[in-house]
């Protein structure tokens, strides 16, 4: 527990489930959170709304400025013209108006760069930065981003990441401050509330595919790989979630060409229902240009769904040759071979399920993660 009430400014995306899950972990601590939205979306995630409205918790949460979500669209237009200066001006006012014990940056390219744009350094309270996914691993290769990342690390007192890989990188970039234990930024998996009595993977007839095709997602590669093993798909249903328009169109063409059962999972499907879909699937396919710990990867491991994941993230810190397939994005033959093996080798997927659930229990369950994250702020203020 934090010894006295603390005031923490969180700079993060108000519509993000990850921000919601992070803040929700501290409902029993005497912390007054102020959330400054770092992205131009009006939507506030339901987890954050619950934290704002719940008066029974020790923790409090409010969004500042209060009209930030209503100003989202005009601010986003203005930001395009003045390079985020308007949002930085509002953030600067919030920081100067209130005496914060800590500023916690959740994600770098939106939230972290925004803090730099206030130009308040070195007149800041302690700064804690948490990088997500590819914030450092991917963007450090671009000179302008590399400069900003190094500048941000220069004003940070505390750093956390979800991959050992990224801790090594920040040290190479010159960071000398405190480093927190590596934990999943999603808050871990509640093993006690996984879908009950799910069948062994070898008896399942569904395949679940991450449908991202935007910035990092490569769902089209996944669908192409499925076309290459269509002879193995008799009786299977392919489910595509978070599907972009391009993924939807490719999936429709795939269905019409081969007669394979394809379902587009509706957006805003609840987390409970998503876990149920994972628990009904034999194989999970996640293709991306870069990543950290993919939350979907952890969820597939927890539910016995065999992961076929690109090796462009830090999945290698979680998956072994016996528990999943890490493939190269540019090698469609390798993806096809690994997918065919996962669809036909019953022993492989059933044994992998046992290994992966044990890994989740020991490293990513809420019972393990929550005590670590719960102590993050306590340790900072001790």
Res 43: pLDDT? 81
pLDDT band per the 50, 70, 90 thresholds, residue 72: low
Same fold, 6-187+366-381 and 191-364: yes
For tokens 């939807």, name the residue: 248
Res 357: pLDDT? 97
Q: Cα torsion at 61, 182, 373, 134 (round to 10°)? A: 10
Residue 2 has pLDDT above 60, yes or no: no
Q: What mean pLDDT do residues 321-340 have?
A: 95
Across 253-275, b (16+ Cβ under 10 Å) vs e yields ebeeeeebebbbbeeeeeeeebb
**Against a cut of 0.85, is the pTM above it?**
yes
**Which of the four CATH numbers 3.40.50.2000, 3.40.1350.10, 3.30.2010.10, 3.20.20.70 does domain 191-364 have?**
3.40.50.2000
Res 80: pLDDT? 63
How many CB atoms are located within 10 Å of the residue 252 CB? 12
CATH class of 6-187+366-381: alpha beta
Q: Give 84 or 55, the one with higher predicted confidence.
A: 55
How remote is the C-alpha of 373 from its chain's centroid?
16
Res 156: pLDDT? 97
- Rounded Cα distance between 140 and 143, Å, is 7
Residue 348 has pLDDT above 90, yes or no: yes
Res 68: pLDDT? 65
Residue 8 has pLDDT above 80, yes or no: yes
Q: Where are the alpha helices (DSSP H) in 303-362?
A: 332-344, 346-359
Helix/strand/coil percentages in the chain, nearest 5: 45, 15, 40
Q: Give 374 or 201, the one with higher predicted confidence.
A: 201
Residue 1 has pLDDT above 60, yes or no: no
Model pLDDT for residues 286-308, shown as the tens digit of each residue: 999 998 899 999 999 999 999 99
Model pLDDT for residues 222-269, shown as the tens digit of each residue: 999 999 999 999 999 999 999 999 999 999 999 999 999 999 999 888
Q: Is residue 350 exposed (0-12), middle (13-18) or buried (19+ Cβ within 10 Å)?
A: middle
Q: What mean pLDDT do residues 336-357 have?
A: 97
Residue 79 has pLDDT above 70, yes or no: no
Question: pLDDT averaged over the chain?
Answer: 92
Residue 172 has pLDDT above 90, yes or no: yes
Model pLDDT for residues 113-147, shown as the tens digit of each residue: 999 999 998 889 999 999 988 899 999 999 999 99
| Domain positions in the chain | 6-187+366-381, 191-364
Q: What interhelical angle do 346-359 and 295-302 show, nearest 10?
A: 110
How remote is the C-alpha of 364 from its chain's centroid?
14
Residue 73 has pLDDT above 70, yes or no: no
Residue 30 has pLDDT above 60, yes or no: yes
Residue 104 has pLDDT above 90, yes or no: yes
């Amino acid at each position: 527990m934090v010894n006295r009430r603390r005031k923490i400014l969180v700079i993060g995306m108000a519509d993000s489930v990850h921000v919601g899950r992070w803040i929700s972990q501290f409902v029993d601590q005497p912390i007054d959170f102020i959330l400054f939205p770092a992205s131009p979306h009006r939507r506030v995630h339901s987890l954050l709304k619950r934290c704002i409205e719940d008066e029974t918790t020790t923790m409090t949460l409010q969004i500042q400025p209060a009209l930030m979500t209503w100003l989202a669209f005009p601010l986003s237009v203005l930001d395009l013209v003045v390079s985020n200066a308007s949002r930085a001006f509002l953030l600067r006012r919030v920081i100067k108006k209130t005496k914060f014990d800590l500023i916690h940056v959740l994600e770098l390219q939106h939230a972290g760069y925004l803090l730099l744009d206030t130009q308040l350094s070195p007149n800041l309270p302690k700064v804690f930065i948490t990088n997500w996914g590819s914030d450092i691993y991917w963007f450090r290769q671009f000179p302008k981003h590399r400069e900003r990342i190094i500048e941000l690390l220069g004003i940070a007192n505390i750093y956390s990441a979800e991959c050992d890989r990224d801790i090594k990188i920040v040290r190479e970039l010159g960071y000398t401050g405190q480093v927190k234990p590596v934990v999943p930024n999603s808050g871990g998996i509640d093993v006690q509330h996984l879908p009950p009595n799910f069948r062994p993977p070898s008896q399942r007839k569904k395949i679940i595919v991450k449908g991202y095709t935007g910035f990092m997602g490569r769902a089209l590669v996944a669908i192409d790989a499925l076309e290459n093993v269509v002879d193995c798909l008799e009786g299977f249903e392919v489910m595509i979630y978070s599907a972009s328009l391009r993924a939807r169109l490719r999936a429709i063409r795939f269905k019409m060409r081969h007669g394979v059962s394809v379902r587009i999972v509706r957006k805003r499907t609840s987390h409970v229902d998503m876990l149920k879909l994972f628990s009904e699937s034999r194989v999970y396919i996640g293709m991306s240009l870069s990543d950290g710990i993919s939350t979907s990867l952890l969820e597939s491991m927890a539910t016995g769904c065999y992961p076929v994941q690109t090796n462009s993230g830090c999945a290698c810190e979680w998956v072994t040759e016996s528990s999943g397939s890490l493939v190269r994005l540019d090698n469609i033959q390798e993806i096809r071979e690994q997918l065919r093996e996962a669809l036909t080798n019953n022993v492989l997927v059933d044994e992998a399920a046992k290994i992966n659930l044990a890994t989740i229990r020991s490293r990513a369950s809420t019972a393990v993660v929550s005590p670590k994250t719960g102590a993050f702020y306590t340790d900072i203020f001790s």
